[in-house]
Chain A
Amino acid sequence: MPAPLIRCEGLAKRYEVGGGGVHALRDLTVSVMPGEFVAVMGPSGSGKSTFMNLVGCLDSPSAGRYWLAGEAVDAMSRDQLAAVRNRRIGFVFQQFNLLPRTSALDNVELPLLYAGVPRQQRRERALRRLGQVGLAERVDHHPPQLSGGQQQRVAIARALVNDPALILADEPTGALDSRTSIEVMALLQALNREGITILVVTHEPEVAAFASRIILFRDGRLVRDTAHRAQDATTALAALDRQTDTAPVTGSGTLAGGARSTRGI
């Protein structure tokens, strides 16, 4: 049996608020194997975001142990954590978090910049990833010139550019319309088939349906962990197109369509 990519033992996070502490996450023990596609669900305040932040090495646990690809992350220094985030994890955020007034290409190059990759190589790798997400024609566009779906694809290219083992997507479809959401999920599924482990935080069952495993949080505890037969996003997209063809007026049928958001950083 292969070693798990993510292994948490007794992981807990406690915030000190006012008079006492609030347990955002209690005594979590869970493992994720390489190549899994996991949806993390739960109502707001359930601890799912805290879990993602800990897994993403953006926050440090109050107690418990966490290994990422066999490395004990809980004992690492800030700089070591930065290196782990840089090399092993790609982040996709609800609000895209692209740098404004910066071209798509430069946005995608950002992780390589911090990895110390030479300029020429940075460019080549970023261009390749932008091509992979279908934005080869728009590498010089700035975020406000792109649709929401395109911005999210730039963000996915950025998450991919350093060849991470794990992609953490925090409500990646939260700012997108339903069709663009499915497109993004199809992209994530394609990456998953290439062997990248994917964790998606979502509160939408429609999005979770594309995952092969669903973890449910409530009140800071993991309450349910179920395997799931994943729905294929490409098929769902085709089905949606057939609906659109029969329905006379919808107006959001183009690939570039989707919610436009100019919100940057």
Chain B
Amino acid sequence: MADVLGSFEQAVLLAIVRLDDGAYGRAILNEVAARLERDVAAGAVQATLERLERKSLVRSTLGSGTPIRDGRARRFYTVSAEGLRQLNEARKTHETIWRGLRRPLKSRA
């Protein structure tokens, strides 16, 4: 059975999809934080990107630096075909398990 994507992994992958050509570390960090509506640690995003790259779900290329970064390079990410397939799979699973239930759920008590 293929690995199931965790919710944070999905958030990072979807941030890369949304950011398109502008998907580098800091932009992904801010996009994930905005979507999850909480502060996110740079280390958490970095570790997730490393893991996703090891699993071949994302690919990366080095871009140029800017003065605000003291000239340090940016690493830009794109979601691979396998990454997109797993995202679609995760969404399908999510929709399947919620089908037939009215959201939000209410307590009977």
Binding partners A and B:
no
Chain A residues proximal to chain B, CB less than 8 Å:
none
Chain B residues proximal to chain A, CB less than 8 Å:
none
